[in-house]
A and B are shown apart, each in its own frame.
Chain A
Amino acid sequence: MPLRGFSLLTLVAIALPFLFPDNYYVTVVGTTAAVHAMLAMSLNLLMGYAGQISLGHAAFFGMGAYSSAILTTRWEWRPLLAMVAGLLLTGVVAYLISRPILRLKGHYLAMATLGFGIIINILLVQTGWLTGGPDGISNIPPLSLLGWQVDSDLRWYGVMSAAALLVLWINLSVVSSRSGRALRALHTSEFAAQTMGIDTTVMKSKIFVLAALLAAAAGSLFAHQQAFVSPGSFSFFFSVELVTMVVLGGLASTYGAIFGAVALTFLPELLVVFEDYEVMIFGAILMLTMIFLPQGFYVAVEQRLGRWWAARQGGA
């Protein structure tokens, strides 16, 4: 498993706060970008590698976040214990729905995941006695690891980047393993994969559960970082945003997913100077990227650089 990109990202993540101490873009936007990167990478496992579209990924993110929020505020569980409980719950739910839902293909699968996402969102809004309804839950305690309180933006930046790097590592290991090859085979042709002896049903369900678990873990951290959760943060629109991140970076590229997440987090921040035109410019950038670089921005650039490098080597 090639670790060059991983090491490079680790270095960048460590160097940034030293180069720009207490910088808004590093500690605040960077932290959000790390959360988005975790989600985009987990969704990319499902969409990019296994070829199973999901329009309900925000639901798993929300389940992790709400499990942590509810258990730590209402029953005063320890954050880590609550996180584990949230992961268990999400894992079980994801497993239970994976079998029926993943029998569907294409538009039908998209519809089913979309429905699932909306159902979870409605549950969050309607079960006010548990979730606080549309107003959400506030006063979520900060995360503490062995007595070390994660309470400043800088510390959160550290925790979220570390978590994102861990997710990256898990991603890379999965992709370069036997399962990863099986997944890609499945993506290209499910039928061919079956004839090669791959149990595609089990494979798909496994990757679905893994993607859900990673999203739920990100959700747990997110709940503690924000100290507040409300159903709006886990809506259908956020699911679509996640799909956009994956597609913008380029499907089936882990680094592409990271690129998409970081780009989509920073772009709106940089575009606020245009005020009223912000959304229009944002939309135009996305459209142009998809028209001219349909395979995704990161993947396209990577391919072109690769070709240029090969040509240079060949020429010399």
Chain B
Amino acid sequence: MKIANRVALAAAVFSSFALTLAPVEALLAKDSIKIGSFLAVTGGASFLGDPELKTLQLYVEQINAAGGVNGKQLELVHYDTAGDAKKAVNFVKRLIKKDEVDIIIGGSTSGTSMAVIPTVEEEKIPFISLAGAVSIIEPVKPWVFKVPHTDRMAAERIFADMNQRGISKIALISGDGGFGKSGREQSLLLAPKHGIEVVIDESYGAKDTDVTAQLSKIRGSSAEAILNFGFGTGPAIVTKNVRQLGIDLPLYQSHGVASKTYIELSGDAAEGVRLPAAALLVADKLDDKDPQKLVLVDYISKYENKYGSAVSTFGGHAYDALMIAVAAMQRAGSADKAKVRDEIEKTKGFMGTAGVFNMTPTDHMGLTVDAFKMLEIKGGDWSIIN
């Protein structure tokens, strides 16, 4: 009897255990969709990775609270690359082999994105990059997508504006960092197509505190406008120096300076400077009928409510990537890698923070030049010009 009792008790305990564990187990097993991410949250590029990670965390939480995707919860697996390409490659392998994620969103910098492409292509997993370089999606690689605008588009937008103003000869001055260099290359490549001649091509170092020497040369040239491609404090110094030298040419900056810090650093000298920028920067100034305004205002309020800090376009890229991925999974009805890849490629008319995405088998970014707004700095604030 005793033994039978014990067996019965054990069986009861065991089965109740099994019953309580079962749903947990099921949840752990495959009832979640795993989103892998590798971002530069620390290190020199943390201004990119930090808002990107915060955005992913915020929206994964939101989507899960609203019932998840295809009835499954999302699970975010993240590793910090500190902007190191070597680490990025290992972490992506880890995401694929160990964590067995369904899709990868990440690569804050062009370097880390480029580094993982061979792995992603070989392992056949959809990858949406958050970095700028055109080379990520050109030539097109089946499994690689990206959401931010490229520097080529910025150059095109600027040249279009110059054409409107009848400017045909420009001086180019660029920073010697990755961003400035890439922008310079794209500008030199595109200028002839817009009938614009680069009459003088100067550069400055990232740590230079004065560029009057280069600008004096520009003053002596036949340029009708100055275009500055750069990042960080460089463009602010260029802006100040231009005004100090009394150069009266229109000054164009790139989307690299699209933050309030630039206006603060340049002060009055920034008056009249034009630059292409994502609509996120001027969300409150958009027309109420603009469908993008709704998306932007919603993103900005959610982000700022949760983290209490200002949004940046970089976090917006993470939002776009995640939403495109989620929409593709919903259309595919599963997280099957090949199907999701096909569906991402079919993304049509998706309104993101960067603009409207229309992807095709030959265009794995899907944005057009219109995604950039042309801004002019007036009275220490941005204003949209058309």
Contacts and interface: CB of A to CB of B under 8 A. Distances in A.
Contacts of B177: 134
In the A-B complex, the 5 residue pairs with the closest CB atoms: A134-B178, A227-B118, A24-B98, A24-B97, A228-B115
B93 A135 contact: no
B239 interface: no
Interface of A: 22, 24, 28-29, 32, 126, 128, 133-136, 138-139, 153, 226-230, 232-233, 269, 272, 278-279
B120 to A, nearest CB: 11
Interface in B77-98: 79-80, 83-86, 89-90, 93-94, 97-98
B94 A233 contact: no
Given A24-B97, A136-B111, A232 B83 contact: yes
B42 interface: yes
B223 interface: no
A100 to B, nearest CB: 27
B176 interface: yes
A226 B86 contact: yes
Contacts of B182: 135
B362 interface: no
Contacts of B83: 232
Interface in B96-151: 97-98, 110-111, 114-115, 117-118, 133, 135
B181 interface: yes
B87 to A, nearest CB: 8
A228 B98 contact: no
Given A136-B111, A228-B115, A230-B115, A28 B85 contact: no
A136 B84 CA distance: 12
Interface residues of B, number: 26
Given A128-B181, A138-B118, 5 more contacts: A24-B93, A28-B90, A135-B135, A136-B111, A228-B115
Contacts, number: 68
The DSSP consensus for interface residues of chain A is: helix
A161 B83 CA distance: 27
Contacts of B135: 135, 138
Contacts of B86: 32, 226, 232-233
Contacts of B84: 232-233
A29 B89 CA distance: 11
Contacts of A279: 42
Tell which of B90, B94, B177 has the most Cβ of chain A within 10 Å.
Answer: B90
B79 A29 contact: no
Contacts of B79: 272
A28 B114 contact: no
A24 B96 CA distance: 9
Nearest to A25: B98
Contacts of B115: 136, 138, 226, 228, 230
Contacts of A32: 86, 90
B89 A226 contact: yes
B93 A28 contact: yes
Contacts of B176: 126
